[in-house]
Structure 1
Amino acid sequence: MPGTISHPLFLTFPAWNMYMDPWHDARWIGTGRPSRRIGIRKAKHATGSRPAPMLRREFTVAGPVQSATLHICGLGYHDAWLNSRHVGDHVLDPAQTDYESRVFYAVHDVTGFVRGGQNCLGIMLGNGWYNQDRVWGKQGLSYGQPCLKCALHVASTTGTTQVITSDEAWKWAPGPVRENNIYAGEIYDARHEQPGWDAPGFDATGWKRARVVTGPAGKLEPQPLPPMRRIEEMVPKAISSTSDGACIVDFGQNFAGWVKVQLDSQVPAGTRITMRFAETVAADGRLDTGSTGVFATRVEQVDTYIAKGEGTETWEPRFTYHGFRYVEVTGWPGELHPRNIAGVVVHTDLPTAGSFTCSDERLNRLHQMALWTHRSNIHGIPEDCPARERCGWLGDANMVAEFSMWNFQARSFWEKYLDDIETTRARNRGIPANIAPGKRGTRGNANPDWAAAFIMLPWHVYVHHGDPAVLQQHWAGMNDLMAHYRRMAMNGWILQDGFGDWFDPGAPGIVKHTPPSLTSTLWFYRCARVMMDVARVLQCPGLAEKYAGWSERIKAAVIAAYYKPGPSGTGTFGSQTANAMALAFGLVPDGEASSIVTSLVDDIIQHQVHVTTGIMGIRYLFEVLSEQQHGDIALALMRQDTYPGFGDLIARGATTLWECWGEPEHDRVHGPRSLNHPMMGGFDNWFYTSLAGIRPDPARPGFQHFFLAPCAIDGLEWVTCWHDTPKGRIASEWRRTGTALEWTVQVPPGTTATITLPLSKQKQELGPGIHHLVDKPVESLVPCE
């Protein structure tokens, strides 16, 4: 036709060539519209109010299909359909990165989707993190408008392959997702649906031609970690009504995801149903959105569905997620029943790698709370909370990484996050920022205690998985960070800056019990010791000697500045956190370990068996107490029912770990605190390393050799625990039988274990297999018949 441009529908070439370059001539395409500086619900400075575009491409396949593979990157998020069938089970794809450094794509096997003859590929694009500057309000957070790059490889039985790529032959139209923002939610108007738009033969009159656009500067890479998925659906525990006619749905559990709604019968077209999300309700039963961060983000989490008026309608969002337990529903036609609404749990789908249960229901509940909290905060990055900031704070990540590795097959997740930290180094003259990835909070160097994650995380990955490649990959940056520490410390070896033991009891953000200079310098010491070990692994003896020397100087400086010898063998670094960290890191004066332990226990007793720890102390306190034969004190702290204690949080309705210990003063001064915050979850290591007694051997990483030494605390009757390692499953199960203890141990093939019996303290070397042991105080090891 006159005035039209002809585009080839596909390329044809021998099938064996298809893997040489999966993208071929694929281009970044989009609507070509400039950014619109009005955000969701008319927010100042924000992008994202335009409808999410739908893009489609019809193509013809000649002959029978042998295989078909789709390579796709749709930013910020994308959903794909082929011949009206949804492609894959990923949601919120791809995972967040700094899009100026790297961009992930997914690969889907769509062999069963493509047929000989006419076909259609349809893509819907959301803003995601790529086009978000609605929250943290400053312009410049957005990387650009939503865009698409894809290549569909279709191999025929004749030995040729067609490649359908993103180019200007595609067409687009605004879709039913009228607005979407990762923080603020989604507005979906079903009246704008176009049935059949993703099928061949659809009348696309009125659709516009896609434009080649400038895509992200980052390198396209295959997504290296598991995708986000719909994990499970939650049934409401209760539905109530407020005086103004709103429905309050309580799912009984704080989690991250969204809700799915179903209209049972036809309602008038244009019926508007609004869902507001929160972690708690006020005393009068109304929704209380304070803890979700409205004071900081200036937005509430709100989804809106506008009905099309055509019988039964089912909907759930696709380009946002929320942190919540409660949902306020307004505009629902008639009575809202549990069958009409379900909670959908959504997070990065990390396979399970461990399990812990014991005879104490408090401990089991705390373990489950920690797991729910962690799962709520893994959406491509380790987040601080799923409702408010959703940022990858380095300090928070450092406190939970080991706990994550015990419970989940999380290697790829943490290696991806380490690469995110590397991208902040590139923006920041070689030093990590406090937050990774993206543009949020990346200006300026990370505080030294938070930056320690960049040294500790590679080490944890190495110890748990045994591959030194992660150390080699980040070795240069780790050395740069140590040099930065040294410059900060000057000649005194003491670091002055730091966030400190964040949210210890009674302190609104600024720590009360432990000087940040002390915790930062303790991390400086710990990092120096780790760098010494890494240098040995990487066969850099000169650097190993250097960092060994640094660690001795830091140790001497800390002892001189902070250690206070006391009467009757009660030396102290001044707080529960300081003493626990010093003992855990091995930074104690010669011969003074028992004095510090005594001071630590005395401090706990003086506080009526309460913690005075924030995120750092809570990570190490319980392990240290158990190692020093005070497991009974650790158990008493876990069982503490009054403030500050875990039981107090449970009594207040907590189903996940909170950002603080529940002080109203925090809420008054800084706004309500998050009720789903993993940074306090480091205590969960104790279940694996102390109660089950499973510990890796850094000298033989990846559990080639490991230690088993359970702490059989009086008051616990049994423990059952397993952990899947690169070598296979380790299991540790013990049970009291009178004065004896029966212990079953599983050692994977190709490994050895050094065990310490919990009552007699006898040691033994075990090889692969399942071993049944009986232990009695001060008696010999007796095989179990």
Structure 2
Amino acid sequence: MAGPNKDQTDVLICADDQPLTYEPAFTFHGFRYARLTASAPFRLADVQAVVIASDPPETSQLRTSDPPIDRLHQNVVWSQRGNFLSVPTDCPQRERAGWTGDFQIFAPAASNNVDVRNFAERWPANVRAEQHDEGAAPTVVPVIPSMESPTSLRAAAGWSDAIALVPWALWERYADRRVLQDNDEAMCRWVACQWRQATSSVPDRLGDDLDEARRARHLTMWNTGPQFGDWLAPSGVAQGLDPITMVLPTLHSEMVAAMFHVRSTWTVAQVARVLGRESDAERPAARAAVIREAFARRDGQVALTVEVPAGVTALIEVGSLARTVGTGRHELLAGLQGAG
């Protein structure tokens, strides 16, 4: 296993030939293999691993004429099971943290596989509880104190947007207005936070050499500040860049942040309409249109050396990122947010 926090090992030595049950306390371990060594012959059938997970009811299955596709889908379902334990996590074997960007991307797909209502509808309540006073939503929920530091991102595009996009995904799947009613205020606070940040500055690389029209466009897009960008984009790995460091986010975070800004703003407008508050929808709807126009005329907003944003530009139409552009080699070069 590559990456930090990978050396997590439990070693259990059996004292005799009596049955033994071992369950770690206050933790769990996701793993692919367990190593067994013995001084005498034993039957592999005598060893049993126990799967623990939240257990929402299955609502669909996929079977095709292509076994690799079936296996891929089964892997997705198992990955979902491994990361649905009380809260949605990023991975079951290492950090096991509730990274909000991961669930923001996966919530629509998760609801295709199982009925996630009971599991997923209480998670935004955790996000609301951790939301900062100015409206920023944390990138990890529940917040893990040991992961907090002065350099931690207080909010990030695609991660903090979970407070708007996860409830909206649940509404699209289950048509239950309560999830929108419960989270409407938190959504509006987050989008207002984005608006304030957007209007406070333009990217440093542009300097002061901007005419009034260009500056006005950049002051609508929320394209400044530290971001995760399109995290773990394989295109950067292909170029020899380290996917764990913040090199990749600095290459395309301007685009990703602006895209999520328009999507969350548009979502807030739609929520107001669903809840019968048409007048409250007018301002964010108009704002979303302004952001889209500014992005379309971004005239050299960012110099790109990775292929990801060519695909994630689909988000500016307030759709999904599923139309990620390939390379002619049948490769998907998008990262976490682009591949969603």
Query: Do Structure 1 and Structure 2 share a fold, with TM-score over 0.5?
Result: yes
SS at match of 1:476: helix
1:193-204 matches, cutoff 5 A:
none
Residue type of the alignment partner of 1:560: R
The reply to whether residue 343 of structure 1 matches residue 49 of structure 2 is: yes
Corresponding residue to 1:493 among 220, 224, 227 = 220
* Whole-angstrom distance in 2 between the partners of 1:338 and 1:316: 17
1:379-394 equivalences under 5 Å are 379-394=85-100
- 1:502 paired to 2:231: yes
Q: How does 1:368-387 map to 2 (within 5 A)?
A: 368-387=74-93
Equivalent AA in structure 2 for residue 494 of structure 1: M
Q: Is the 8 A contact 1:398 1:457 kept in 2?
A: yes
| 1:421 equivalenced with 2:127 (yes/no) | yes
TM-score, with normalisation over the residues of structure 1?
A: 0.36
1:581 aligned to 2:317? no
Q: In the alignment, which residue of structure 1 is the partner of 2:175?
A: 466
1:609 aligns with 2:336: no
2:51 partner SS: strand
Deviations 1:394-419 (A, max 9, x none): 11111111110000111111112111
CA 1:406–1:559 in structure 2 vs 1: closer, same or farther (change >3 Å)? same
Distance in 2, matches of 1:581 and 1:466, equals 27
Equivalent position of 1:202 in the other structure: none
1:350–1:409: 8 Å Cα contact kept in structure 2? yes
- Equivalent pair of 1:384/1:391 in contact (CA under 8 Å): yes
CA distance in 2, matches of 1:585, 1:489: 16
The residue type paired with residue 162 of structure 2 is A
Query: 1:355 and 1:513 mapped to 2: Cα distance?
Result: 40
Report the residue type matching 1:616 in the other structure: Q
- Report the equivalent of 2:264: 527
Higher relative contact order at CA 8 Å, sep ≥6: structure 1 or structure 2?
A: 2
Q: CA deviation at 1:341?
A: 1.4
Aligned partners of 1:535 and 1:544 also within 8 Å: yes
The DSSP-based 3-state class of the residue aligned with 2:158 is helix
- Counterpart residue number, 2:111: 405
Quote the offset at 1:444 in angstroms: 5.7
Deviation for aligned residue 1:363:
1.7
- Is the CA contact 1:518–1:562 (under 8 Å) kept in the aligned structure 2? no
Q: Are the structure 2 counterparts of residues 587 and 390 from structure 1 closer, same or farther at C-alpha, using a change threshold of 3 Å?
A: closer
Find out whether 1:432 has 2:137 as its counterpart: yes
Instruction: Answer whether contact 1:514 1:577 (CA < 8 A) is retained.
Output: no
Name the % identity.
24
Deviation of residue 585 (structure 1)? 4.7
How is 1:157-306 mapped onto 2 (pairs within 5 angstroms)? 290-291=1-2, 295-296=4-5, 299-305=7-13
The CA deviation at 1:314 is 3.0
* Partner SS state of residue 330, structure 2: coil
Q: Does 1:354 align with 2:75?
A: no
Distance 1:562 1:372 in 2: 44
| Residues 722-748 of structure 1: CA deviation (Å, up to 9, x unaligned) | xxxxxxxxxxxxxxxxxxxxxxxxxxx
Unaligned 5+ residue runs, structure 2?
200-215
TM-score of the superposition, structure 2-length normalised? Answer: 0.80
Equivalent residues of 2:233, 2:336 under 8 A apart: yes
Give the Å deviation of 1:306. Answer: 5.2
- For 1:533 and 1:385, the matched residues in 2 are separated by 32
Q: Residues 269 and 284 of structure 2 are in contact (CA less than 8 Å); yes or no, is this contact kept in structure 1?
A: yes
- Contact 1:501-1:616 within 8 A present in 2 as well: yes
1:431 Cα deviation (Å)?
2.3
Determine which of 177, 191, 199 is the counterpart of 1:482. Answer: 191
Which residue of 277, 287, 305 corresponds with 1:550? 287
Preserved contact between residue 131 and residue 138 of structure 2 (Cα < 8 Å): yes
Deviation (angstroms), 1:485: 0.2
- Whether 1:329 aligns to 2:36 is yes
> Who is 2:159 aligned against?
450
Q: Report deviation, 1:549.
A: 1.1
- Aligned residue for 2:36, secondary structure, equals strand
SS of the residue 1:354 aligns to: coil
Bigger Rg over Cα: 1
How many residues are matched?
A: 302
Distance 1:531 1:374 in 2: 28
- Once residues 577 and 417 of structure 1 are traced to their aligned partners in structure 2, the CA distance between those partners, rounded to angstroms, is 30
- Identify the match of residue 22 of structure 2 among 305, 316, 328: 316
Structure 1 residues without counterparts, runs of 5 or longer: 1-289, 565-572, 589-596, 620-785
Query: What is the letter of the counterpart of residue 296 of structure 2?
Result: I
Aligned residue in 1 for 2:278: 541
* 1:469 partner letter: R
Post-superposition offset of 1:554: 0.7
Q: Aligned pair in 2 of structure 1 residues 536, 392: CA closer, same or farther (>3 Å)?
A: same
AA paired with 2:33?
Answer: Y
Instruction: Report how far residue 329 of structure 1 moved.
Output: 3.4
